[in-house]
Amino acid sequence: MDLGNYASLAHFGPELVLGGGILLLVILDLLMADKRRLGDIALLIAVVALLLIAMEPVTPGAWLFHRMLVFDSFAIFFRALIALAAIVAIWMSIGSEEVLGCDQGEYYAILLASTFAMFLMAESANLLMAYLALEFVSLTSYILTGFLRHNRRSLEAALKYLIYGGVASGTMIYGMSWIFGITGSLDFTVINHALTTPGALPVLAVFISLVLILAGMGYKVASVPFHMWAPDVYQGAPIPITTFLAIGSKAAGFALLTRFFFPALSSLTAAGNWQALKGVDWPELLLFICMITMTLGNLAALQQSNMKRLLAYSSIAQAGYALMGFVVLSNDGIRAMLFYLFAYYVMDAGAFLVVMIVANSTGREDIDAYRGLAWRGGIVPAVALTIFLFSLTGIPLTIGFIGKFYLFAAVIRGRFYLLAIVGVLNSVVSLYYYMRPIKTMFLDTPNGDEGAVTVDFWNYGLMGVLACATIVLGLYWAPVLAFATRSMHFFTGPV
């Protein structure tokens, strides 16, 4: 179905709500005296968007706005995930000491704009839309990262992010221009058709352009070697934004990456496996990138003493794990990747939340601030963080384990034994640094100069929900799996 502009609006509800919300917030910012309410309103808007997504009918899919966007279950999955990330980020922002010092109206407006942009990234059916959305996400991310404008680290991070992002996206559009030149179209489906049509495929040119495009997309998911901005930005940004970037932006990146590399560049065989373009061996390239990503992420994390930075490197490694599902070129793998991204959302959001809670109380983000946390009144955040970190490690009874289980299942099934071994070794290495905060919280005794940790009701609630979700979904993950299975479907209509 190729829907025109008006017909498309039926499937554009969440985005419309967000767009309207942005404007509403900007206006309300001028009108309202108590700016703190703005956060609640933004939360409401995000929730409404999520609800609208939840009510989307699962149809075979459609093109929206003259093949600018694609509406399918895959997009629904990522939009839901991004909306959830936005909700968590807003919720955290409401309870964050850092954010309270900023301009509330603008902050939430940009946050919603960023969410909106990520939605578009997940639905792009077109190189132009993909570039526009990606750049939109980037721009809002720069702003959000530098939002603490009196904070050196924040601005510094924003500048690095911006320069890095500018180069990455510049590289990407150069690559895209070649794809455009080879296929004569910006439309993913047409590109797919053009490239898979028998004939002389310009293998080298396609490969070069894919590498260049990968710079832009890989930079969004923070895969090695396009990852180097992530630690600085994660450390410099306000924690809710870090969380949002870590889970939302990364999810959007995965959405775009998957949509571009699978339906646009590959063809699905009857057995549920994907066939890459003949001669263009990006799967090997990505396999390599995947292994390097998780290894470097984990190794670098070993050295960190700042929790945000540690989680930043960890999230690089986690992206590497998720890529395992990507590189096996099967629907199994994609499902595992979707599942893992969901799991990653739950556990990483939880981990960052605890970091924020501790930072709120102590003003510190280094691991030493966690010394003896369990024994100085912070047993609940300590236990919660432990659950999240165990989940990130992939220990059973947590959703992280199930996520890894499906990933490894897909890898083993696809006979990527080297990848399996590398993944396994990485799991072991990662244990070491994930255990460090746990060790500090439980095994060390407090020095006495660390502040007390208090948790307000709302943070408590969110932490509880995330921790429970980590465990409950680790025991009963059927709904998530069903959701991921349902979302494996890409809409590709006729050319």
Q: What is the C-alpha separation between 476 and 342, in angstroms, rounded?
A: 14
Site string for another protein, 138-177 (x = CB under 8 A): xxx-xx--xx-xx-xx-xxxxxx-xxx-xxx-xx-xx-xx
Binding pattern to another protein, positions 300-319, x when CB under 8 A?
xxxxx----x----------
**3-class SS letters over the chain:** CECCHHHHHHHCHHHHHHHHHHHHHHHHHHHCCCCHHHHHHHHHHHHHHHHHHHCCCCCCCEEECCCCEEECHHHHHHHHHHHHHHHHHHHHHHCCHHHHCCCHHHHHHHHHHHHHHHHHHHHECEHHHHHHHHHHHHHHHHHHHCCCCCCHHHHHHHHHHHHHHHHHHHHHHHHHHHHHHHHCCCEHHHHHHHHHCCCCCCHHHHHHHHHHHHHHHHHHHCCCCCCCHHHHHHHHCCHHHHHHHHHHHHHHHHHHHHHHHHHHCCEECCCCEEECCCCCCHHHHHHHHHHHHHHHHHHHHHCCCEHHHHHHHHHHHHHHHHHHHHHCCEHHHHHHHHHHHHHHHHHHHHHHHHHHHHHHHHCCCEHHHHCCHHHCCCHHHHHHHHHHHHHHHCCCCCHHHHHHHHHHHHHHHCCCHHHHHHHHHHHHHHHHHHHHHHHHHHHCCCCCCCCCCCCCHHHHHHHHHHHHHHHHHHHCCHHHHHHHHHCCCCCCCCC
- Nearest residue (CB) to another protein, 339 versus 344: 339
Q: What's the closest the beta carbon of residue 375 comes to another protein, in angstroms?
A: 8
Stretch in the footprint of another protein (CB under 8 A) among 35-43, 87-95, 336-344, 428-436: 428-436
Residues composing the chain: 495
Q: Is 272 in the site for another protein (CB under 8 A)?
A: no
Nearer to another protein, 229 or 458 (CB): 229
d(CA 51, CA 191): 34
Q: Is 488 in the site for another protein (CB under 8 A)?
A: no
235-254: contacts with another protein (CB under 8 A): 235-236
Applying CB under 8 A, among 35, 100, 136, 196 the residue interacting with another protein is: 136
Smallest gap from residue 114 Cβ to another protein (A)? 8
**Span near another protein by CB under 8 A; candidates 19-27, 85-93, 448-456, 464-472:** 19-27
* 276 lines the binding site for another protein (CB under 8 A): no
| Residue 225 binds another protein, judged by CB under 8 A | yes
# chain residues binding another protein, by CB under 8 A: 125
Nearer to another protein, 146 or 248 (CB): 146
Smallest distance from another protein to CB 330, Å: 12
Angle (nearest 5°) at CA 411 between 405 and 412: 85
- In the list 131, 326, 342, 491, the residue contacting another protein (rule: CB under 8 A) is 131
Q: Report the C-alpha gap between 158 and 164 in whole angstroms.
A: 10
The reply to whether 203 sits near another protein by the rule CB under 8 A is: yes
CB closer to another protein out of 425 and 458: 425
CB of 261 to another protein, least distance (A): 16
Nearer to another protein, 170 or 272 (CB): 170
> How many CA atoms lie less than 13 Å away from 194 in the CB half-sphere?
15
Binder of another protein out of 435, 460, 465, 493 (CB under 8 A): 435
CB nearer to another protein: pick between 336 and 458: 336
Shortest Å distance, C-beta 455 to another protein: 18
Distances from the Cα of 203 to the Cαs of 172, 195, 210, 218, in angstroms? 18, 10, 10, 21
Query: Smallest distance from the beta carbon of 319 to another protein, in angstroms?
Result: 15
Query: Given the complex with another protein, which of 76 and 173 has the nearer CB atom?
Result: 173
Confirm or reject binding of residue 450 to another protein (CB under 8 A).
Answer: no
Which segment (256-264, 266-274, 292-300, 319-327) binds another protein by CB under 8 A?
Answer: 292-300
Q: Does 185 bind another protein (CB under 8 A)?
A: yes
Residue from 47, 48, 132, 268 touching another protein (CB under 8 A): that is 132
Scanning residues 350 to 389, which ones bind another protein (CB under 8 A)? 375
Q: Which of 113, 122, 100 is nearest to 142 (CA)?
A: 113
Q: Which of 7, 48, 211, 276 binds another protein (CB under 8 A)?
A: 211
Closer to another protein by Cβ: residue 287 or 458: 287
The candidate with the shortest Cα–Cα distance to 67, out of 207, 216, 193, 198, is 193
Instruction: State yes or no: residue 291 binds another protein (CB under 8 A).
Output: no
Which one, 432 or 458, has the nearer CB to another protein?
432
Closest contact distance (angstroms) between CB of 451 and another protein is: 22
Specify the stretch interacting with another protein by CB under 8 A; choose among 261-269, 320-328, 337-345, 419-427.
419-427
Map the footprint of another protein across residues 70-129, applying CB under 8 A.
102-103, 106-107, 109-110, 113, 116-117, 120, 127-129
